[in-house]
């Protein structure tokens, strides 16, 4: 019975010994490969080392050993180097300059080996962060630790080359991962936040139109307290694109609190206020913005538009509702800003057209309000008749003011039916039947 018990123990121990030997075999093959690097690298040793170490990380007994991942990181860095040589050799015939050729090789190569090396780096820090800190800071001088430290430095250098090369080749999605990986490592090792590489990761994710990475990387910068207004802008746009208005407004609000003077965030918030009919809040933002940019034609147009909407509120059906008590004042303020936008003549053709058309429409609408007052039922006496006559004359005066702005708008868009129709009506109202007929003929010709 004892005999069979001994045999059973041996049978159980063999797999354990076998798996532990995989780590030793990986180290031996790795050492043999590194010994050939000076003269003529023998990659057969490297591929054997890779085979052994991949088996070792699957074993319960060795998958959580520090040295398993130390060897694995070195092996995969070497594997990347060898594959990079192969990739560069493919380009020998087409690219003469070595620097250009190497950069192209970095851009073309798959980064699976670097990814695996990086996973090993993460695992090493997870298994023994203090030991890793001493190794990275050169506070240990054992031969194996030195080799690991050198491999880590090579890994970081390769990630930097991959990031820049992938970016130049417009492989933005891949580039974003490498920039983020470098930023995370540098931040952990130095204790200083690597704002530059985090920002590069955000930019690449945006160029790749990868919304999940855009959110992740930009939020990462916010969480690390190294964000700029750009990070809040990007998350706002991502969440709006995903129809998460609540989440988008949450980040926009945080961005406005953090960067109260940022014009982009202010403009975006203003757009949301306007779309929700919150004109007073929109106007508050715009007034702040115009103080900083008094010659900004677009801002003057926007302010004019807000006053216009406040003066001419629409009901749910889109029809005009009762005018506010300060209607005349609101109209006046609107004309001032529309006119300022026109005087500044925005370079954008559409904005210039809108400024002209809106001011013409505002004068037309104001004239219509005055006309309605001229025909209101009043007690017939000399005073009321006089007032009605005044309203009628002011109405015609307002119509006449509208005409030149709509005519200028038509010069920008000669076939705009809405503008032509508005002018036709106005010409009739001011008694210019010739021009009204001209507009009517123009409408027929365009149909």
Q: What is the pLDDT of residues 150-188, one digit of tens each?
A: 999 999 999 999 999 999 999 999 999 999 999 998 888
> Does residue 428 lie within any of the structural domains?
no
> Does residue 56 lie within any of the structural domains?
yes
Three-class SS state of 170:
coil
- The encoded tokens of residue 17 equal 């010994």
The answer to whether 258 touches 226, Cβ cutoff 8 Å, is: no
> Does residue 355 lie within any of the structural domains?
no
The pLDDT value recorded for residue 382 is 60
The answer to whether 73 touches 152, Cβ cutoff 8 Å, is: yes
C-alpha distances (whole Å) from 13 to each of 8, 10, 20, 106, 151 are 9, 5, 11, 45, 34
pLDDT grade for 19, boundaries at 50, 70 and 90: low
Kindly report the number of other CB atoms within 10 A of residue 300's CB atom. Answer: 25
Q: What is the mean pLDDT of the segment spanning 6-26?
A: 56
> Does residue 287 lie within any of the structural domains?
no
> Does residue 340 lie within any of the structural domains?
no
pLDDT at 379 over 70: no
> Does residue 8 lie within any of the structural domains?
no
The pLDDT value recorded for residue 381 is 62
The pLDDT value recorded for residue 20 is 56
Please list the alpha-helical segments (H only) found in 312-381: 327-344, 349-374
The pLDDT value recorded for residue 317 is 54
> Does residue 46 lie within any of the structural domains?
yes
Question: What domain range is 93 assigned to?
Answer: 21-169
Among 434, 432, 430, 433, CA closest to 393: 430
Q: What percent of the chain shows pLDDT beyond 90?
A: 70
Query: Domain tally for the chain?
Result: 1
Query: Ramachandran region of residue 283, left (φ > 0), alpha (ψ -120 to 50) or beta?
Result: alpha
> Does residue 51 lie within any of the structural domains?
yes
Average pLDDT, the chain: 89
Query: Which residues neighbour 338 within 8 Å (Cβ) at sequence distance 6 or greater?
Result: 300, 301, 304, 308, 355, 358, 359, 362
Q: What is the DSSP letter of 243?
A: T
Total-model pTM = 0.66
**How far apart, in whole angstroms, are the C-alpha atoms of residue 307 and residue 97?**
63
Please list the alpha-helical segments (H only) found in 109-228: 112-127, 129-136, 143-168, 172-190, 195-207, 211-223
Strand partners, 320: 314
pLDDT grade for 118, boundaries at 50, 70 and 90: very high
pLDDT at 12 over 90: no
pLDDT grade for 378, boundaries at 50, 70 and 90: low
**How far apart, in whole angstroms, are the C-alpha atoms of residue 126 and residue 63?**
13
Phi/psi for 314 (5° steps) reads -110, 145
Helix (H) or strand (E) holding 97: none
């Amino acid at each position: 019975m004892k005999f069979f018990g001994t045999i059973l123990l041996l049978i159980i121990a063999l797999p354990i010994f076998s798996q532990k030997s995989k780590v030793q075999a990986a180290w031996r093959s790795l050492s043999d490969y590194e010994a050939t690097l000076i003269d003529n690298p023998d990659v057969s040793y490297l591929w054997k080392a890779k085979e052994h170490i991949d088996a070792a990380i699957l074993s319960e007994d060795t998958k959580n050993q520090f040295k398993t991942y130390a060897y694995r990181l070195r092996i995969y860095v070497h594997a990347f180097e060898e594959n990079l040589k192969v990739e560069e050799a493919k380009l020998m015939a087409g690219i003469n300059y070595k620097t250009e050729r190497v950069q192209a090789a970095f851009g073309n190569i798959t980064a699976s080996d670097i990814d695996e090396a990086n996973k090993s780096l993460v695992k090493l820090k997870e298994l023994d962060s203090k030991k890793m800190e001493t190794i990275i800071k050169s506070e240990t001088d054992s031969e194996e630790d030195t080799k690991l430290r050198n491999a880590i430095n090579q890994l970081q250098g390769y990630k930097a080359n991959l990031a820049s090369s992938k970016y130049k080749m417009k492989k933005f999605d891949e580039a974003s991962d490498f920039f983020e990986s470098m930023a995370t490592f540098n931040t952990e090792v130095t204790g200083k936040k690597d704002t530059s590489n985090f920002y590069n990761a955000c930019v690449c994710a945006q160029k790749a139109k990868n919304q999940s990475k855009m959110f992740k990387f930009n939020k990462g910068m916010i969480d690390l307290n190294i964000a700029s207004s750009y990070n809040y802008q990007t998350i706002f746009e991502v969440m709006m694109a995903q129809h998460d208005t609540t989440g988008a407004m949450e980040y926009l609000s945080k961005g406005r609190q953090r960067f109260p003077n940022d014009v982009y965030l202010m403009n975006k918030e203003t757009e949301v206020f306007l779309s929700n009919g919150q004109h007073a809040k929109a106007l508050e933002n715009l007034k702040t913005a115009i103080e900083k940019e008094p010659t900004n034609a677009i801002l003057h147009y926007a302010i004019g538009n807000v006053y216009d909407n406040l003066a001419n509120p629409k009901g749910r059906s889109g029809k005009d509702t009762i005018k506010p008590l300060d209607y005349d004042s609101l109209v006046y303020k609107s004309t001032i800003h529309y006119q300022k936008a026109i005087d500044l003549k925005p370079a954008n053709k559409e904005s210039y057209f809108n400024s002209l058309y809106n001011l013409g429409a505002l004068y037309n609408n104001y004239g219509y309000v005055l006309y309605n007052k001229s025909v209101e039922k009043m007690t017939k006496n000399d005073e009321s008749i006089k007032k009605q006559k005044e309203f009628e004359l002011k109405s015609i005066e307002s119509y006449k003011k509208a005409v030149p702005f709509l005519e200028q708008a038509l010069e920008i868009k000669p076939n705009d039916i809405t503008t032509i129709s508005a002018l036709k009506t106005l010409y009739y109202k001011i008694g210019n039947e010739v021009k009204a007929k001209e507009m009517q003929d123009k409408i027929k010709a365009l149909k």
